[in-house]
């Protein structure tokens, strides 16, 4: 046992001696530096510098004036547009021509008005015997309502261009909003012809109708020398003096004397020719987006079971149509069309 104790003591003394030796070596040997691959970033330095001087006078660019300045179209701000002299130009002097692929017609609905220039009211008792001159450019926009419930289902745009001798009149009807989700309806009507002492004399009338996936096209040719009206779908009929197409009639009314109680007209819709008798009614006041408008009411005389038509001509707007009503053979209103915007120019 004594031998075991001595052996353990010897081991302890040896371990302590080795530990002391290691510590002495660490204290007296030179220190070794471990290299560091990442250098520390230099300290941030900041200083204030004055801002560059501003240019005292900005560069002046030459201002070029247009060769033929035209007054801008005044927007109607009040409830009722101001009345302007008869020879005052309304709207932009040069309206953009209709693209050939645009469509316009009556969506069998209703119309309304927004921004326009008015003219003095026309005294029907003192109407001139000669036709009232049509403007060089005119653009009318209408709201189309279903029946008489003022639920808008579409728009109609009219564009009239004249040059003193001839005219082109285009109308485009299309459904909008919720109505378009249920029925994609577009109609383009185009009337071309000459302008004479009696007003519009159509030479051709075309209509292109798109009703969902169904597309229809037809055309009527007014052969005045031979007094024949020919239809693209076949057939022809005698062409009476003063005959109009269904689009041109709205503007031809401003060229006719309105002193009679009844205006007889022959009107073609491109597929047939009908005899119209328009009864001249009284002056009425209409409520439109342009405010209160004075209008002359005309009504087509029709028998029971026939379609009807009522037109209101703006007495302060060159006798252009400001509202019309389409009536079904059943007697119900098919659509109400109200003017929403009128732009006119004589230049």
Classify residue 41: in a domain, yes or no.
Answer: no
4-18, 138-152, 232-246: which has the highest mean pLDDT?
A: 232-246
Classify residue 118: in a domain, yes or no.
Answer: yes
Q: Which residue has the higher pLDDT, 6 or 30?
A: 6
Classify residue 1: in a domain, yes or no.
Answer: no
Residue 82 reports pLDDT greater than 80: no
Locate 146 and state its tokens.
Answer: 């279903």
Residue 76 reports pLDDT greater than 80: no
Which of these, 267, 320, 328, lies nearest to 295 by C-alpha position?
320
Classify residue 27: in a domain, yes or no.
Answer: no
CA distances from 171 to 120, 123, 140, 144, 250 (A): 27, 29, 9, 13, 11
Classify residue 172: in a domain, yes or no.
Answer: yes
Which of these, 79, 82, 150, lies nearest to 114 by C-alpha position?
79
CATH number at residue 264: 2.50.20
Classify residue 243: in a domain, yes or no.
Answer: yes
Give residue 121's domain range: 110-345
Place 199 in a pLDDT band, splitting at 50, 70 and 90. very high
Residue 155 reports pLDDT greater than 90: yes
CA distances from 56 to 52, 53, 87, 228 (A): 12, 9, 49, 77
Classify residue 182: in a domain, yes or no.
Answer: yes
Give the separation between CA 55 and CA 45, rounded to whole angstroms: 30
CB 343 within 8 A of CB 81: no
Name the H helices within the chain.
2-28, 177-182, 249-252
Give the separation between CA 129 and CA 142, rounded to whole angstroms: 30
Place 48 in a pLDDT band, splitting at 50, 70 and 90. very low
Classify residue 310: in a domain, yes or no.
Answer: yes
Instruction: For residue range 259-309, list pLDDT tens digits in order.
Output: 889 999 999 999 999 999 999 999 999 999 888 999 999 999 998 888 999
What pLDDT score was predicted for residue 11? Answer: 64
Give the separation between CA 299 and CA 310, rounded to whole angstroms: 4
What pLDDT score was predicted for residue 14? Answer: 57
Radius of gyration over every alpha carbon of the chain, rounded to an integer in angstroms: 43
Place 113 in a pLDDT band, splitting at 50, 70 and 90. very low
Number of domains in the chain: 1
What pLDDT score was predicted for residue 148? Answer: 81
Q: Which residue has the higher pLDDT, 292 or 3?
A: 292
Q: Which residue has the higher pLDDT, 133 or 52?
A: 133
Q: Mean pLDDT across the chain, nearest whole number?
A: 74
């Amino acid at each position: 046992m004594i031998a075991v104790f001595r052996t353990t003591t010897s081991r302890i003394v040896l371990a302590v001696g080795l530990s002391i030796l290691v510590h002495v070596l660490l204290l007296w040997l030179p220190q070794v530096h471990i290299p560091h691959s990442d250098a520390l970033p230099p300290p941030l330095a900041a200083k204030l510098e004055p801002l560059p001087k501003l240019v005292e006078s900005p560069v002046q660019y030459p201002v070029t004036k247009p060769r033929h300045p035209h007054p801008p179209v005044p927007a109607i701000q009040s409830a009722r547009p101001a009345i302007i002299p008869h020879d005052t130009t309304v709207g932009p002097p040069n309206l953009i021509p209709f693209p050939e692929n645009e469509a316009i017609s009556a969506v069998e609905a209703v119309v309304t008005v927004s921004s326009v220039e008015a003219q003095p009211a026309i005294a029907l008792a003192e109407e001139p015997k000669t036709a009232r001159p049509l403007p060089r450019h005119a653009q009318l926009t209408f709201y189309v309502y279903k029946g008489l419930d003022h639920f808008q289902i579409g728009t109609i745009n009219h564009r009239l261009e004249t040059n003193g001798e001839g005219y082109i009149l285009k109308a485009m009807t299309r459904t909008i909003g919720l109505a378009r989700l249920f029925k994609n309806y577009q109609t383009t009507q185009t009337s071309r012809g000459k302008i004479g002492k009696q007003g519009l004399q159509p030479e051709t009338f075309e209509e292109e109708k798109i009703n969902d996936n169904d597309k229809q096209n037809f055309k009527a040719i007014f052969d005045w020398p031979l007094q024949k009206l020919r239809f693209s779908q076949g057939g022809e009929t005698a062409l009476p003096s003063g005959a109009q197409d269904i689009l041109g009639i709205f503007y031809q009314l401003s060229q006719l004397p309105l002193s009679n109680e009844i205006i007889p007209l022959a009107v073609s819709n491109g597929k047939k020719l009908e005899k119209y008798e328009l009864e001249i009614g009284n002056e009425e006041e209409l409520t439109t987006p342009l405010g209160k408008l004075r209008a002359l009411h005309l009504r087509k005389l029709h028998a029971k079971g026939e379609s009807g038509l009522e037109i209101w001509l703006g007495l302060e707007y060159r006798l252009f149509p400001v509202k019309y009503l389409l009536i079904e053979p059943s007697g119900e209103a098919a659509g109400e069309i109200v003017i929403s915007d009128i732009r006119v120019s004589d230049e």
